[in-house]
Amino acid sequence: MIIDFHTHVFSPQIKKNRNKYIDSDPCFAILYSKKDSRLITADELIASMDESGIDISVILNIGWITHELCVETNDYILESMARFPDRLIGFCSVQPQSYEAAIDEIERCAKEGIRGVGEIRPDMQLFDPRDEEVMKPFINAVMKHKLMLLSHASEPIGRSYPGKGVLTPEVLYPFISNYPDLIIILAHWGGGLPFYALMPEVNKAMKNVFFDTAASPLLYRPQIYEQVVQLVGAERILFGSDYPLAEQRRALEEVTSLNIPRETKNLILADNAQKLLGIMDKAV
């Protein structure tokens, strides 16, 4: 089994009316204003999965700035999960500053089978993940329904690119420390946060933190896999492509070509995700 823990899908309505959503939402505008920034539907994702040999994908939302846009895309993710129950697992999006509406939306989505919240983008959704007044009721709702939280993460140095943002390790670490029992997945290798795991207090604080590999071929050399395995353990790494930003086949081939033990590859490609998502073993 192979599980891609980081993909994005949008409804045909959003894909057809891209300019309307560009005008309505700054996060969407930053990510998808360029014509070559691909938008895909759930059906197109399934086609890519079939072509690439991927069994299951986690479908994520983006950091919409309004509650209404979160709900609109959540509806499509729930619909897609119902259409492809053996292939797609959904995360929902909320705007924490909507307070009660956000908590109600988490409850609604959890009842429909959503497994997590994300990909949150606090810098684009204009909330501070260190602000307990906003975050505490939001996180309490996430944990009440036994969900996990997937957040974007940014490298503090290196090249700039659309949507990079400012969710660097120094921003993420206080948030992680405030909620040690919350299962957190940090996208894009956590913006380099695993490299601080050599500090005992940081490693201890990150006991429930996982790192996905989304867009890794666009950000790092393949050696990052071996390095992060040594720093935090293979049990904390989740294979993610960030499709359609990065091709699923390319991301998968990078992992399969690594000179690391097969058991390590299995943990990254499926076993860790199966454990988090509660997926039973399935013969390939």
Indicate if the pLDDT at residue 282 is higher than 80.
no
The tens digit of pLDDT for each residue in 127-163 reads 999 899 999 999 999 999 999 999 999 999 999 999 9
Average pLDDT (85-103) is 97
Q: Whose CA is closest to 118, among 183, 54, 213, 34? A: 183
Name the 3-class secondary structure at 213: coil
User: Distance (Å, rounded) from C-alpha 220 to C-alpha 253?
Assistant: 15
What pLDDT score was predicted for residue 10?
98
The tens digit of pLDDT for each residue in 30-51 reads 999 998 999 999 999 999 999 9
User: Distance (Å, rounded) from C-alpha 152 to C-alpha 6?
Assistant: 11
Indicate if the pLDDT at residue 283 is higher than 80.
no
What pLDDT score was predicted for residue 35?
85
Domain boundaries, the chain: 3-277
Q: How far is CA 283 from the centre of its chain?
A: 26
CB 147 within 8 A of CB 110: yes
If residue 250 lies in a helix (H) or strand (E), which one and from where to where? helix 248-256
Average pLDDT (116-132) is 94
What pLDDT score was predicted for residue 281?
66
Indicate if the pLDDT at residue 280 is higher than 80.
no
User: Distance (Å, rounded) from C-alpha 212 to C-alpha 190?
Assistant: 8
Q: How far is CA 198 from the centre of its chain?
A: 24
What pLDDT score was predicted for residue 2?
97
Question: Tokens 């994520």 belong to which residue?
Answer: 60
What pLDDT score was predicted for residue 13?
97
The tens digit of pLDDT for each residue in 239-269 reads 999 999 999 999 999 999 999 999 999 999 9
Confidence tier at 284 by pLDDT (50, 70, 90): very low
Report the share of the chain in percent with pLDDT over 90.
97
Angle at 273 between CA 184 and CA 220, to 5 degrees: 70
User: Distance (Å, rounded) from C-alpha 42 to C-alpha 51?
Assistant: 14
Q: Whose CA is closest to 115, among 36, 218, 3, 257? A: 3
What pLDDT score was predicted for residue 268?
98
**CATH classification number, 3-277, choose in 3.30.390.50, 3.30.365.10, 3.20.20.140, 3.60.15.10:** 3.20.20.140
Edge-to-edge strands of the sheet including 56-60?
3-8, 56-60, 88-92, 116-120, 148-151, 184-186, 209-212, 237-238
